[in-house]
């Protein structure tokens, strides 16, 4: 059906074959063009955000430092999967080595774990800024920010290492055709000759604990924030306080809603949701947030908007002077 011969050797395959989006091969060219455009926007937008925060000393506050790391993680997450996906959609070149497949899996899943931790850190920053403004600098010290960043990274490594190890040590003696656009954990686990249930359960339970705890703490932070905002006497002060959270809320919705839909549709909707829809959801999940995050922060954060516009004008005028 897929036009790819199945490998029935008893040895672990040297390569896997990613088919793209099963059932939507006729749309692969349009998907490649769309993904290429989104990837370019993601690279340019996140690089611009990082550059503006790096060179502008007025943006060295904790919120912007976390945003800087978020932009870097978005670039890593998109770059780990999109170039290969575009290659598959353009030319049908879906071959990927065994080691490269598991490296890609490790990077993309670890990046998603780091990203949810960063969203929690940014929610904590907004809580301190609004609920304890007089103690902001005393609480969010550089030492605490470094400790939070290290804890987020270590948590991702601790979670992802056993997951990749368990799956990579299973025997793959049957088909080497992965019905996906990248080496997504469950899609690869289906090819194992042994029972992949321990690895799959670890994936779902671990991701549910990480995402569930982060969402619970974020919800608690915003409950306290709303309580503090409602206690303000001035309407302008209330709107100003809420507007500082608008970008973060938008990014959270963009990250958690498609992510949770992708995970639980794969697990619970196997019979009800077509495979191409499941794969498309997973693809969009790793592409849309990195593309839209810099746009959301650029449009809703006045400081970044001003500095970005100033930087662009400076570069354009310098270039025009050199040209003349």
Taken as a whole, the chain contains a residue count of 324
What's the pLDDT score for residue 252? 79
pLDDT 10s digits, 174-214: 788 888 889 888 888 888 888 878 887 888 888 888 888 88
What's the rounded mean pLDDT across residues 143-149?
90
Question: What pLDDT score does 288 carry?
Answer: 86
* Lowest-confidence segment of 34-43, 124-133, 216-225, 290-299 by average pLDDT: 290-299
CB-CB contact of 254 with 292 (8 Å): yes
CATH of domain 15-309: 1.20.1070.10
Which is nearest to 172 in space by CA: 186, 200, 187, 191? 191
Residue 247 near residue 296 (C-beta atoms within 8 A): yes
pLDDT for res 323: 53
Runs of H (alpha helix) within the chain: 28-55, 62-91, 98-131, 136-139, 142-168, 185-189, 197-230, 235-268, 275-300, 302-323
pLDDT in tens, 301-319: 667 777 777 766 766 666 5
Alpha-carbon distance of 171 to 246, in angstroms, equals 48
C-alpha span between 200 and 182 (Å, rounded): 17
What is the phi/psi pair of residue 18, to 5°?
Answer: -90, 125
Contact between 75 and 47 (Cβ < 8 Å): yes
Q: What is the pLDDT of residues 190-199, one digit of tens each?
A: 888 888 788 8
pLDDT tens readout for residues 235-278? 776 776 677 677 777 777 777 777 666 666 666 655 676 777 77
Q: Is 147 exposed, middle or buried (0-12, 13-18, 19+ CB in 10 A)?
A: exposed
- 124-140 mean pLDDT: 88
Banded model confidence at residue 3, pLDDT cuts 50, 70, 90:
very low
Of 2-11, 58-67, 304-313, least confident by mean pLDDT is: 2-11
């Amino acid at each position: 059906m897929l036009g790819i011969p199945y490998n029935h050797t008893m040895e672990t395959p040297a390569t896997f074959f990613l088919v793209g989006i099963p059932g939507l091969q006729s749309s692969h060219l349009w998907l490649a063009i769309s993904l290429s455009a989104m990837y370019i926007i993601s690279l340019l937008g996140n690089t611009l955000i990082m550059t503006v925060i790096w060179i502008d000393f007025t943006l060295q506050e904790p919120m912007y430092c976390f945003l800087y790391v978020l932009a870097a993680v978005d670039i890593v997450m998109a770059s780990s999967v999109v170039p290969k996906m575009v290659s598959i959609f353009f030319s049908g070149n879906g071959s990927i080595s065994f080691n490269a497949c598991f490296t890609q899996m490790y990077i993309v899943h670890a990046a998603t774990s780091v990203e949810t931790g960063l969203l929690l850190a940014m929610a904590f920053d907004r809580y301190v800024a609004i609920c304890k403004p007089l103690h902001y600098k005393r609480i969010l010290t550089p030492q605490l920010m470094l400790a939070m960043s290290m804890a987020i990274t270590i948590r991702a490594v601790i979670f992802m290492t056993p997951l990749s190890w368990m799956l990579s040590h299973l025997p793959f003696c049957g088909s080497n055709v992965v019905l996906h656009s990248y080496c997504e954990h469950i899609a690869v686990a289906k090819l194992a000759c042994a029972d992949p249930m321990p690895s799959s359960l670890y994936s779902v339970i671990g991701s549910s604990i990480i995402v569930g705890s982060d969402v619970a703490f974020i919800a608690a932070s915003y409950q306290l924030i709303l309580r503090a905002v409602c206690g303000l006497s001035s309407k302008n002060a209330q709107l100003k306080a809420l507007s500082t959270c608008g970008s973060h809320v938008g990014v959270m919705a963009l990250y958690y809603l498609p992510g949770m839909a992708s995970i639980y549709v794969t697990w619970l909707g196997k019979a009800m949701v077509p495979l191409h829809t499941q794969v498309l959801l997973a693809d969009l999940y790793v592409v849309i947030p990195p593309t839209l995050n810099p746009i959301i922060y650029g449009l809703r954060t006045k400081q970044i908007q001003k500095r970005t516009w100033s930087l662009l004008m400076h570069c354009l005028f310098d270039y025009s002077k050199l040209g003349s």
